[in-house]
Amino acid sequence: MIIVMQPDAGADQIEAVEAKIRAHGLAVHVSRGTERTLIGAIGDERTLEPEMFDPMPGVEKSMHIVKQYKMVAREWHKANTVIDVAGIPIGGSTVQVIAGPCSVETMPQMEAAAAGARAGGARLMRGGAFKPRTSPYAFQGRGVEGLEMLRSSADAHGLPIVTELMDVRMLETFLQYDVDVIQIGTRNMQNFDLLKEVGRIKKPVILKRGMSATINEWLMAAEYIAAGGNHNIIFCERGIRTFETAYRNVLDVTAIPVLKRETHLPVIVDPSHAGGKAWMVPALSCAAVAAGADGLLIEIHPNPCEALCDADQALTPAEFATLMEKLGAIARAIGRDI
Amino acid sequence: MIIVMQPDAGADQIEAVEAKIRAHGLAVHVSRGTERTLIGAIGDERTLEPEMFDPMPGVEKSMHIVKQYKMVAREWHKANTVIDVAGIPIGGSTVQVIAGPCSVETMPQMEAAAAGARAGGARLMRGGAFKPRTSPYAFQGRGVEGLEMLRSSADAHGLPIVTELMDVRMLETFLQYDVDVIQIGTRNMQNFDLLKEVGRIKKPVILKRGMSATINEWLMAAEYIAAGGNHNIIFCERGIRTFETAYRNVLDVTAIPVLKRETHLPVIVDPSHAGGKAWMVPALSCAAVAAGADGLLIEIHPNPCEALCDADQALTPAEFATLMEKLGAIARAIGRDI
Amino acid sequence: MIIVMQPDAGADQIEAVEAKIRAHGLAVHVSRGTERTLIGAIGDERTLEPEMFDPMPGVEKSMHIVKQYKMVAREWHKANTVIDVAGIPIGGSTVQVIAGPCSVETMPQMEAAAAGARAGGARLMRGGAFKPRTSPYAFQGRGVEGLEMLRSSADAHGLPIVTELMDVRMLETFLQYDVDVIQIGTRNMQNFDLLKEVGRIKKPVILKRGMSATINEWLMAAEYIAAGGNHNIIFCERGIRTFETAYRNVLDVTAIPVLKRETHLPVIVDPSHAGGKAWMVPALSCAAVAAGADGLLIEIHPNPCEALCDADQALTPAEFATLMEKLGAIARAIGRDI
Amino acid sequence: MIIVMQPDAGADQIEAVEAKIRAHGLAVHVSRGTERTLIGAIGDERTLEPEMFDPMPGVEKSMHIVKQYKMVAREWHKANTVIDVAGIPIGGSTVQVIAGPCSVETMPQMEAAAAGARAGGARLMRGGAFKPRTSPYAFQGRGVEGLEMLRSSADAHGLPIVTELMDVRMLETFLQYDVDVIQIGTRNMQNFDLLKEVGRIKKPVILKRGMSATINEWLMAAEYIAAGGNHNIIFCERGIRTFETAYRNVLDVTAIPVLKRETHLPVIVDPSHAGGKAWMVPALSCAAVAAGADGLLIEIHPNPCEALCDADQALTPAEFATLMEKLGAIARAIGRDI
């Protein structure tokens, strides 16, 4: 950590900062420039916070030099981590596709979706049983009954399942249904009690980016899970909130190479929620694979017009199959497969 | 709701939209313009969603005409709601100030803070026992012991208490300690399970704005609480996330007159988290009161340099007392008191 | 245009709105719902603005139904426009790459850059002679001398040139040097006097997106150029400003399919300015081509460490050549070439 | 400037950085931490840019320690600068109000507006003769004729005039009409050629904040004007672009205390463009004055419903007069007058 002193900071103020650094067990290194004096803290600066120094008299600002995340950082774990989900590797050379409806509605819907996912080449199935909805009057999901429908329709086609956990009290139930991958949604990326709970188990976790979370906050959220002992974490970029109103969110493709550099963990992309319209999904999926994503989370629905949730962003199984062919060609162009 | 058809939409596509509207129990009104045909749904459009129509063939876009919130809307409840917190009215002509430290640390700290809050003119006391922290390695709060320290120090000075609830499983404990106002933090504004739980009790709730939540999402989050039966909701603006990096968040003062127009519920402001620096707090507090806020949530600490959390944004009791005098003058200038 | 009246709007207020619509030569269509009355204006609503109605008594809000751009809109011109730049088609099946340094510095630098651009497969050359810099103390570009160096180094390799025009007073000079494509930079996207001037000539114009411009504002800026008579407009996405601080800008890939749907004009991408770091350029370039971009604008420099401007985002000629091979494979995977 | 080396940076890489610093005439100071080596550049770091070091092998990142602006910085000029506009001091203890219509339309409109501005207590008059409009089909302003109407109507009431300059070629005309304060609009904050031109004259300049400009970029834009020799600069906050769609822009009140700390120059606020609705103007005006603004720029129109531009944000003269009374009370509450 570096503490920048104000131009007129006195010797006693500099000494006070030095004393505080030493009190935390770090060494001090002072550098006197022509306009400012800088004080460096030598040692593990993760025990220090800028806010410890900023209010001290004579301090102009202070800043971390090293990143605050460690377990999820590539700096400390050079090789890519490949996560095994019921025999399917995520983070390896194959780009894995997870497909399914936004929300679980009925058994016929789920059966058609599972068949479509499988036929198109998806290796896992998604489906929401508990839905976070902006309005309390909107459809809130089928709940436990939905979990059951997801489990049985996916099993029939040999697909592991991915579904969102919103409430810590439902974790037991998720484990009973042996949910293969637990999804933490965008609104819960910083629900720290929920992160701590999924940190205590070993199930793979898809951690969606908060819709206005920085890369650093996202990595720190993953660090919460890792710090609990669960290292099976998959990052999922799903679009960020900006000033643009022509589409729901802006898919942040830059996050893909940046995360691949910062962390050893897999990075997937949800093109369906990002754009919010089915017709945008192919272009965004292609961009994500070309930029290096390890997987995709795509919404499909046997009959999008009748979907109870996010109807306008689901592909039909036929559209999905067409897209998968194109994605295969792109994956091969960059030396991967799908 | 209005559905705008594409320029080349066919008669059968228009009929399909009309049929879907009627199937939901609403009437239809068609308007043929020179470039587009518009289809209006007449009746309670809250049962319809744009996503129901957007994926239909021939539809260009669809949009709500009326707001989706009802219980919190001034349109349906013209008079200001004044919430009683242990005898202290929030939302009336007096601007109420809640003061206290970011986090509960020790009994001496809490006693000094309570004395300072009271002496400066605050009518309620805040203090965090459970802290949402970006890093899993940062101080996470004193927990239940912290609740106890807050309760006893505040009681000694006759101040009702305000503290943040992060985890649904702790609600029972909050009720045992008779927390006077339950705060829902910015990261939990759309933690819908938590909103539903505080909707089932009668305790006043401070609902902080999500750091990138729109006014509409915020009102809908409050509607979750109201829909459960708890109408004692206080909105708290605390700064939004933007592109600016010179300060932590941008205090959105425009939200104050907009909310006062849209809802009958009280609106308060947290100037401490907004700017993130103690020296910004006076200007932001003055702006908030001048713009019509019903209250303020201000961080004070007997010794900011030693605070365990957000040290750089707390005022000393002396600075707080000076600020309160200035705020009193502004409140009187606009016909209120403090 | 639709005008939504307040729930308690009186008959006289409704009549005043109707009268105003008729005074502008449009017809009126009224729809009375259960909660609101809606007034539709039938005819060419481009002569109306919401602000004409919003301040009228009894009006809640008003909104356009059709887009305000016309000449650049695909709705009115279905086929893709292919722009000819000195024999090179932009907007056709070939993805065109424009390469060169951020700023023109010296003849040896320009000669090496031109050779590298050509060898890697670029078909046009870029180079800034006039540089918009945040600081008045930073290098401001070589000016007219720079234009001359760009012209002669590019000519030697048979590359048409692209360079930025910042000041209306320099347009004559640009025409004298026969600049093949005039670039309007991000900070000038809404410099309307500049747009009007380049609208009066026939030279192709690259219109970069303002760093916080909406898609609609961007299309309207192009409409300024088209309205002047110049239809040779190329849109260039170059990253938008968001809350994220880990990289300079967020490349908005969603803008590619959205623009391709809204306009018949070509869309290219600048991956260098978007991320701001050379190591991000390959992933972003691949994403852009996969998402359907018609071209790329890539910074290369014979010796990035010594560049006078944006040194950290330029590729070396060798890195550029490697990238071009990868881009070729992706282009072929989606049925195009490069 | 500090250069942070990568953990595995070699001695030769460190030496290369040191050599580059020395080559620019600065001294070097190296600090070896447990995880990183830091290299400090001692001397006037304004001649260095992070981009000079970021692409060098072994460099992780580099950053400025001191601010890049100097002439506008309070660090180098402690006392407030008070700017004299035709005898009216801006930046002193009196809060100055500039009022007038968005655009100059007709002489009767201007005469009524000038009378209303004067009667309400404004000391200067505004009015746009050249209007930056999103659409090329919208009213573009009365041009030179508008300047003439503004000049004569304001003169009749003894009010100096403020009007926007968009095009460098019109500067001569502005000087002929002796425009008292030249306004640089939000879209031109980084139109560097325009800034350089107004830097060459002595007329006071109102520099509006770019709608997504950071505080640092804004100060650097002012530095462009100051570097040319014109120190009569007035900052004008007018709302920033965010994700919120319920109002046009978010008035950034935090910018007021931050600018007052960073610069010695006056800071005023435009509450009319910020919110975009007349009913928001009083609350925003009160907030701005309470937060320490040195002035306000308020739109008034004798008949807002008939205004040709931004009709929905103008106050009537009567509303303006009422607001001025309230603002006077707030100004007095904080020890100023209006």
Considering all CA atoms of chain B, what is the largest pairwise distance in Å, rounded to the nearest integer? 76
- Say which amino acid occupies A272: S
Judge whether D156 and D125 are in contact, CB under 8 Å: no
Q: According to the model, what pLDDT value does residue D307 have?
A: 82
The residue among B303, B272, B306, B274 whose CA lies nearest residue B97 is B272
Least confident of A107-121, B300-314, D3-17, D187-201: B300-314
Chain A CB within 8 Å of residue C279 CB:
yes
pLDDT of residue A330: 98
Who among B245, B250, B289 is closest to D290 (CB)?
B289
Q: Where would I find the beta strands (DSSP E) of A195-288? A: 205-208, 233-237, 267-269
Task: Give me the domains of chain B, ranges plus CATH numbers.
Answer: 2-63 (3.30.70.1140), 74-333 (3.20.20.70)
The rounded distance, in Å, linking the Cα atoms of A191 and B67 is 28
Q: Does C276 touch chain B (CB under 8 A)?
A: no
Asked if A296 and A269 touch (Cβ cutoff 8 Å), the reply is yes
| pLDDT of D323 | 98
* Structural tokens at position D11: 């001695």
pLDDT of residue A33: 84
Per-residue pLDDT at B273 exceeds 90: yes
User: Looking at the predicted structure, is the pLDDT value of residue A306 above 90?
Assistant: no
Tell me how close the Cα of D321 comes to any Cα of chain B, in angstroms. Answer: 15
What is the DSSP secondary structure assignment for residue B222, as one 8-state letter? H
- What torsion, rounded to 10 degrees, do the Cα atoms C314, C316, C319, C320 define? 70
Q: How many CB atoms lie within 10 A of CB D107?
A: 12
Q: Which two tokens stand for residue D306?
A: 């008939």
Percent of residues, chain B, with pLDDT higher than 70: 100
B109-138 residues touching D, CB cutoff 8 A = none
Phi-psi region of D141 (alpha: psi -120 to 50; beta: other; left: phi over 0): left
- B66/C242 CB distance under 8 A: no
Residue C250 touches chain A, beta carbons under 8 Å: yes
Query: HSE (CB half, 13 Å, CA atoms) of A312?
Result: 20
Q: What is the pLDDT of residue A28?
A: 94
Whether the Cβ atoms of residue C314 and residue C102 lie closer than 8 Å to each other = yes
Quote the percentage of chain C above a pLDDT of 70: 100
SS3 call for A63: strand
pLDDT at A218: 98
Predicted confidence band of residue A307 (pLDDT cuts 50, 70, 90): confident
Distance CA D330, CA B334 (A): 7
d(CA C94, CA C98): 13
Put simply, the answer to whether A137 touches B227 (Cβ < 8 Å) is yes
> HEC states along B18-79?
HHHHHHCCCEEEEEECCCCEEEEEECCHHHCCHHHHCCCCCEEEEECCCCCCCCCEHHHCCC
pLDDT for residue A129 is more than 90? yes
Which two three-digit tokens encode residue A19? 């004393």
Neighbours of chain B (3+ CB pairs under 8 A): A, C, D
Size of interface A-B (CB pairs under 8 A): 107
Whether the CB-CB separation of B220 and B266 falls below 8 Å is answered with: no
- Enumerate the β-bridge partners of residue A260: none
Give Cβ neighbours of residue C322 (< 8 Å, ≥ 6 apart): none
State the pLDDT at residue C33: 84
Specify the range with the lowest mean pLDDT, choosing from B90-94, C73-77, D194-198: C73-77
The answer, for D211 touching chain B at a CB cutoff of 8 Å, is: no
Report the distance separating Cα A267 and Cα D36, nearest Å. Answer: 27
User: Do residues C142 and C184 lie in contact, with contact meaning Cβ atoms separated by under 8 Å?
Assistant: no
Does D50 contact chain A (CB < 8 Å)? no
pLDDT at res. B45: 85
- Residue of D168, D191, D241 with shortest CB distance to C188: D191
Chains that touch C (3 or more CB pairs under 8 A): A, B, D
What integer pLDDT is reported at residue B33 of this predicted model?
84
Average pLDDT over residues C52-81: 93
The backbone torsions φ and ψ at residue A283, rounded to the nearest 5 degrees and listed phi first, read -60, -40
Pick from B179, B161, B174, B173: nearest CA to B114: B161
What per-residue confidence (pLDDT) applies to D309?
Answer: 80
Assign A311 a pLDDT band (cuts: 50, 70, 90): confident
Q: Kindly report, residue by residue over B115-169, the tens digit of the pLDDT.
A: 999 999 999 999 999 999 999 988 899 999 999 999 999 999 999 999 999 999 9
Please write the tens of the pLDDT for every residue from B10-68: 999 999 999 999 999 999 999 988 889 999 999 888 888 898 899 899 999 999 988 88
Q: Which of A31, A75, A245 sits opposite D40 (nearest CB)?
A: A31
Residue D4: CB atoms within 10 Å: 21
What's the pLDDT tens digit per position in A8-57?
999 999 999 999 999 999 999 999 888 889 999 998 888 888 988 998 99
In this predicted model, what pLDDT tens digit does every residue of C121-180 receive, in sequence order? 999 999 999 999 999 988 899 999 999 999 999 999 999 999 999 999 999 999 999 999
Calpha distance B286→A263 (Å, rounded)? 44
Q: Which chain C residue has its CA at the smallest distance from D57's CA?
A: C305
Answer positive or negative: Cα dihedral of B332, D252, B276, B258: positive
Other beta carbons within 10 angstroms of residue C326's beta carbon come to 17
> Which chain C residues are within 8 Å of A291, Cβ to Cβ?
283-284, 286-287, 290
Interface-testing mutation among D209, D235, D254, with chain B (most B C-beta atoms within 10 A): D254
CB B246 within 8 A of CB B254: no
pTM over 0.90: yes
Cα C224 from Cα C221, distance rounded (Å): 5
DSSP state of A237: E
Q: Is A219 exposed, middle or buried (0-12, 13-18, 19+ CB in 10 A)?
A: buried
Q: How would you class B325 by CB atoms within 10 Å of its CB: exposed for 0-12, middle for 13-18, buried for 19 or more? A: exposed
User: Which of A311-315, B329-333, D69-73 has the least mean pLDDT?
Assistant: A311-315
* d(C-alpha A314, C-alpha A133), whole Å: 17
Q: CA-to-CA distance for C118 and C324, rounded, in angstroms? A: 11
**Residue percentage of chain D with pLDDT more than 90:** 89
Lowest mean pLDDT among A202-206, B115-119, C131-135, D306-310: D306-310
Judging contacts by C-beta atoms under 8 Å, the chain C residues touching residue A245 are 214
Give backbone dihedrals phi and psi of B131, rounded to 5 degrees, phi first.
-115, 125
| Residues contacting C306, CB < 8 A, separation 6+ | none
Q: Measured in whole angstroms, how far is the alpha carbon of residue B268 from the centre of its chain? A: 8
Backbone angles phi, psi at C85, to 5 degrees: -115, 100
User: pLDDT confidence of B312, banded at 50, 70, 90?
Assistant: confident
Please judge whether B4 and C40 are an interchain contact, meaning their C-beta atoms are less than 8 angstroms apart: no
Q: Give the list of residues 6+ apart from residue B218 with CB closer than 8 angstroms, or none.
A: B189, B207, B209, B210, B235
Cα B8–Cα B9–Cα B13 angle in degrees, nearest 5: 165
Contact list in D for residue C50 (CB cut-off 8 A) is 312
Judging contacts by C-beta atoms under 8 Å, the chain A residues touching residue D66 are: 35-36
Q: Span A230-253, mean pLDDT?
A: 97
pLDDT at C118 over 90: yes
